Amino acid sequence: MRKGWAHSQTCIERHNNMIIDHPLLGPRDAREFVYLGDASLMNRPDWKDENAAEQFYEYLYLRTNTMGEHRELWYHEHGDRSWLVVTRHTLTHEITKVELARDLGLNVGQNK
């Protein structure tokens, strides 16, 4: 049993299966999540701004598409349904930071 488990662990590492260290629930397999995209999607433009149309165009359609460290939104659909901001390297898939999007959002709100 144990041996089998250890073997599957190395397989997973070799295939670089992504484990997201949820701030509340601990390490979870990435397949429990749904991926949305660049965390900049949290910064919705203000519709009252003069150039709101231009800003919304850029917000919705244009991406920096970083090669390297990427901050991105994952939704824990098969879990506690929280939104996470995951910092992950797009060349290695290594995850270095996981934050609750709610906390970040509240911070932004408080500083407005």
Partner 1 sequence: MRYSGLKIFTEALTGNKGWGPNWRQPTPKDTYDVIIVGAGGHGLATAYYLAKEFDIHDVAVLEKGWLGLGNVGRNTTIIRSNYMLPGNEPFYELSMKLWEGLAQDLNYNVMVSQRGLLNLFHNDPQRDSFIRRGNAMRLAGADAVLLDQDGVRRMYPFFDFDSSRFPIKGGLLQPRGGTARHDAVAWGYARKCDELGVDILQNCEVESFIIEGGICKGVETAKGSIRANKVAVCVAGSSGHVMAMAGLRLPIESHVMQAFVSEALKPVIHGVVTFGAGHFYVSQSDKGGLVFGGDIDGYNSYAQRGNLPVIEDVCEGGMAIMPMIGRARILRAWGGTVDMSMDGSPFIDKTDIERLYFNGGWCYGGFKATPASGWCYAYLLANDKPHEVASKFRLNRFKSGNMIDEKGMGAQPNLH
2 vs 20: CA distance, rounded Å? 23
58 vs 45: CA distance, rounded Å? 10
Two tokens, residue 8:
């599957």
Q: Among residues 7, 9, 13, 31, which is the contact residue for partner 1, using CB under 8 A?
A: 31
**Smallest separation (angstroms) from partner 1 to the CB of 66:** 8
Give residue 67's Cα distance to chain centre: 15
Q: Among residues 93, 96, 97, 102, which is the contact residue for partner 1, using CB under 8 A?
A: 93
Which residues of the chain form contacts with partner 1 (CB under 8 A)? 11-12, 15-18, 29-31, 35-38, 57-58, 60-67, 70, 72, 88, 90-93
